[in-house]
A and B are shown apart, each in its own frame.
Chain A
Amino acid sequence: MRSYWTKRVLGAAAVLLLVIAANFFLFRIMPGDVVSTIVDPRFSPEAKERMREVFGLDLPLGRQFAVYVRRMLTFDFGISFLSQRPVWDELKSRVPNTVALLGSALVLSSALGTWLGVKAARKRGGFTEKVVLLSGSVSFSFPSFFVQLVLLLLLAYTFPLFPLRGSVSIPLPQTGTARALDYLWHLLLPAGSLVLLGFGSWAIYVRNLMVKTLGEDFILMARAKGLPEGRVLWNHAFRSALPPVLTLFLLALPGIVSGAVLTETVFSLHGVGKYLLDSIMGHDYPAAGAAFYILGLLTIASNLAADAAYALADPRIRVGGRVQS
C-alpha cells in the first residue's frame, strides 16, 4: 500500500519535471524571435539587447532553466511579454472557468455514459444498446470543433437561445443569483457540446465492461441468492467493474489540454486554454509556459485523484494479500 503511493507520487513528480522541461526547451527551439515580435524591427540593436536583459534572455540556457524551474514551483510566472502584466494575475481569473468547463463536462458525460452503458449491457440487442453503439461511433467520427461550430450556428445564431461568445455577459448582472445564472447560461453550450461528444465513448466502454462482468460466476450466484435485479446490477456487477471504469478517467484526462484549447477558442471563453493559444500566437514565453504548466498540473492532479479512487474501489490493490480483521 505504502509502495503503491510512493510510486504514484514519485511518478507524478517526474511527469511534472518533464512538463517544465518541455515547456522551457520547446519554446526556445520554436521558430521566430520573441524580441522581434514585440518591438519594432527598426529599433536599434542596443534597444533589442536591453529588451533581452529585461526578460533574462541574455543568460546562458542552463541558468535560465534553473531559474525557470524554481519560479514554476513557486507560481512566479513573470511578466507577460504581450500585456506587460504579471502572468499569474492574468491566469488566476481563468483557472476556475477552465475547471468548471472541463470538470462539469467530464462528470456529466461519465455519469450519462455510465448509466446508458449499464442499461445497454442489461438488455443485449435492445433499443438502448443500439443507441449507445451508434452515438459512440458518431461522436468518435466528428471533429469536436466542427460539432461545436454547428451547435453555435444553430443554437446561438439561427435560434439565439445561448450566447455567441464569452464566459459572462458584459455588463455583469447586478445580483449574485443573476450572475450565477448568467455564468451557467454561458457554460451550458460549451459544456453540453463536450458531453455530447464524450458520453458515447464512455457508454461503449462501460457497456463492454458490464457485458463481461455480467457473465461472471458471482453474478449467477447473486441471482441464485434471489437478490433484486437492481442490486445484482449495481451492487455486484457495476461495483466490480468500477476499477477499470476509473482507469478510463485516467485515459480521458490528457484530452483535457486539447479540449480546453479548442472549446475555449470556439466559444471565446475566458479560460486557460484560450490564453494558451493567444500566448503561443504572440510568442509570449512566460504566458504560454505558465498556461501549459497549469494544464499539466490539472492533468497530473486528476491522475493522482483517479489512482486514489481506483485504490478505494478495488480491495485487491488496497489490501494486497494482507490479513486484516
Chain B
Amino acid sequence: MIAIRDLSVTYRTAARSVPAVRGVSLEVPRGKVTAVVGESGGGKSTLVYGILRLLPPGTEMSGSIDYDGMELTRASEERMREFRWKKAALVTQGAMNSLTPVLTVGYQVAEVLRVRLGMPGGEARERALELLAMTNLPPGYAGKYPHELSGGEKQRAVISMAVACSPEFLIADEPTSALDVITQAEVIATLVRMVREKGMGLLLVTHDLPLALSISDEMAVMHEGRLVEKGTPERITAFPSHAHTRTLLSAFGVTARSGQ
C-alpha cells in the first residue's frame, strides 16, 4: 500500500512559487485500480512525480508518502532509486517521447533487467522478447528503434518495460492521451490485463472520466490541487457530493442516477 497523507507540493522559481498539490490524502492498495481524475493543470502529474520523487530540483514537498513503513518524502536518493521501477513503475503519457530515440526497444527493455535485476545479457535479451510478447509485440520489434513504432506500439513497449521488474505498483500518467480511440482501448486493455494477472496496484491518473469510471475500483476527483471527492465509481456517479464532480459528470454526459 502506498499511503499519501496531507501531501503538498509547491514549485519554486526565482520569481514566484506555484502550489500544485495542496493537502492531498490518498491510499493506493495493491491488487486494485485507483483512479485520479481531473482537468489538465490540476496537479495530477505532480502527484505522480511526487510519489517517485522525480520533481525538478528546488520543488518543495510536505506531508508524507508511506510505502510499507518507508517514508518516501525523506528517503535517501539511493533508497528512492531502489524503490523506482522495482516497487513502482511508471507508464508515461502517450504523447510523451518516453523511449530513448537512439536505442532499440529490445535494448531498452533488456537494460532495465540487466541493470536493475543484475540479469546476464543473454538472459535479459530473451526475457525482453517475452515481455514484449506479453503486450502483443512480436519478437521483430526488439530490433526496432522507437521512430519505427506507432504511438500505440510505443505505449505497449513502455508497458512491457514497466512490468519488467514485476513491480507492486504501476503508476500510469495519462497513458492514452494523444492516441486514437481504438489504440486507447487496446492500451487500456493491455494495462488492465497486466495489472489483474500480476495482482499489481494501478494508480491511473487521467482526465478521461468515463475511462476512470469504467475500470477503477476506487477513484478520486482532483481540482486545483485538492482532492474534492473520493469513493467508488458507483457512489460518485450516483451521489456526487462536490460541485466540480457534478460539472465533470455533466461535461462527459453522465448524469446522476440515470446511469453511465
B116-A225 in contact (CB<8A): yes
Give chain A interface residues in 282-325, CB to chain B under 8 Å. Answer: 313-316, 319, 321-325
Determine the chain A residues whose CB is within 8 A of the CB of B85 once the complex forms. 224-226
* Minimal beta-carbon separation of B6 from chain A (angstroms): 24
Determine the chain B residues whose CB is within 8 A of the CB of A322 once the complex forms. 148
A226-B96 in contact (CB<8A): no
Determine the chain B residues whose CB is within 8 A of the CB of A231 once the complex forms. 115
Q: Which of A225, A316, A324 contacts B101 (CB 8 A)?
A: A316
Does residue A16 face the partner (Cβ distance < 8 Å to B)?
no
Does residue A85 face the partner (Cβ distance < 8 Å to B)?
no
Determine the chain B residues whose CB is within 8 A of the CB of A325 once the complex forms. 139-140, 143-144
Stretch at the interface among A162-170, A196-204, A214-222, A264-272: A214-222
Does residue A240 face the partner (Cβ distance < 8 Å to B)?
yes
Interface of A is mostly: helix
Determine the chain A residues whose CB is within 8 A of the CB of B161 once the complex forms. 225
Determine the chain B residues whose CB is within 8 A of the CB of A321 once the complex forms. 147-148
CA distance A220 to B86 in the complex (A): 16
* Minimal beta-carbon separation of A310 from chain B (angstroms): 12
Known: A221-B92, A315-B145. A226 touches B98 (CB 8 A): no
Known: A217-B97, A226-B81, A231-B115. A239 touches B144 (CB 8 A): no
CA distance A200 to B148 in the complex (A): 37
CA distance A220 to B97 in the complex (A): 10
Residue ID in chain B nearest A242 by CB atoms = B102
Number of residues on chain B facing chain A (CB within 8 A) = 34
CA distance A231 to B111 in the complex (A): 10
Determine the chain A residues whose CB is within 8 A of the CB of B115 once the complex forms. 227-228, 231
CA distance A264 to B185 in the complex (A): 68
Residue ID in chain A nearest B148 by CB atoms = A321
B52-A224 in contact (CB<8A): yes
* Minimal beta-carbon separation of A127 from chain B (angstroms): 17
Does residue A223 face the partner (Cβ distance < 8 Å to B)?
yes
Known: A226-B81, A239-B102, A321-B147. A217 touches B92 (CB 8 A): yes
Determine the chain A residues whose CB is within 8 A of the CB of B84 once the complex forms. 223-226
Determine the chain A residues whose CB is within 8 A of the CB of B104 once the complex forms. 315
Most interface-central of A239, A242, A325 (chain B CB within 10 A): A325
Determine the chain B residues whose CB is within 8 A of the CB of A220 once the complex forms. 49, 54, 92, 98
Determine the chain B residues whose CB is within 8 A of the CB of A216 once the complex forms. 97
Determine the chain A residues whose CB is within 8 A of the CB of B101 once the complex forms. 218, 240, 315-316
* Minimal beta-carbon separation of A87 from chain B (angstroms): 45
Known: A227-B111, A227-B115. A221 touches B147 (CB 8 A): no
CA distance A231 to B116 in the complex (A): 12
* Minimal beta-carbon separation of B19 from chain A (angstroms): 22
Does residue B21 face the partner (Cβ distance < 8 Å to A)?
no
Does residue A48 face the partner (Cβ distance < 8 Å to B)?
no
* Minimal beta-carbon separation of B14 from chain A (angstroms): 11
Determine the chain B residues whose CB is within 8 A of the CB of A217 once the complex forms. 92, 96-98
Residue ID in chain A nearest B87 by CB atoms = A226
A313-B54 in contact (CB<8A): no
Does residue A8 face the partner (Cβ distance < 8 Å to B)?
no
CA distance A202 to B82 in the complex (A): 36
CA distance A59 to B127 in the complex (A): 75
Does residue B132 face the partner (Cβ distance < 8 Å to A)?
no
Does residue B99 face the partner (Cβ distance < 8 Å to A)?
yes
CA distance A231 to B100 in the complex (A): 12
Give chain B interface residues in 86-133, CB to chain A under 8 Å. Answer: 86, 89-90, 92, 96-104, 111-112, 115-116
Residue ID in chain B nearest A215 by CB atoms = B56
Residue ID in chain B nearest A238 by CB atoms = B102
* Minimal beta-carbon separation of B71 from chain A (angstroms): 18
Known: A217-B96, A225-B85. A324 touches B144 (CB 8 A): yes
Give chain B interface residues in 134-165, CB to chain A under 8 Å. Answer: 139-140, 143-145, 147-148, 158, 161
Mark contacts of A84-96 with chain B using CB atoms, 8 A cut-off: 1 yes-contact digit, 0 otherwise.
0000000000000
Determine the chain B residues whose CB is within 8 A of the CB of A228 once the complex forms. 81, 115
Known: A221-B92, A224-B54, A226-B81. A239 touches B148 (CB 8 A): no
Residue ID in chain A nearest B99 by CB atoms = A218
CA distance A224 to B108 in the complex (A): 13
Write 14 A-B pairs (CB below 8 A) sorted by A numbering. Answer: A217-B97, A220-B98, A221-B98, A221-B99, A223-B54, A224-B54, A227-B111, A236-B103, A239-B103, A315-B145, A316-B101, A321-B148, A323-B140, A325-B144
Taking beta carbons and an 8 Å cutoff, which residues of B are in contact with A?
Answer: 49, 52, 54, 81-86, 89-90, 92, 96-104, 111-112, 115-116, 139-140, 143-145, 147-148, 158, 161
Taking beta carbons and an 8 Å cutoff, which residues of A are in contact with B?
Answer: 216-218, 220-228, 231, 235-236, 239-240, 242-243, 313-316, 319, 321-325
Which 9 pairs between the two chains have the least Cβ-Cβ distance?
A: A325-B140, A226-B84, A217-B96, A315-B145, A224-B90, A221-B98, A226-B85, A218-B100, A226-B81
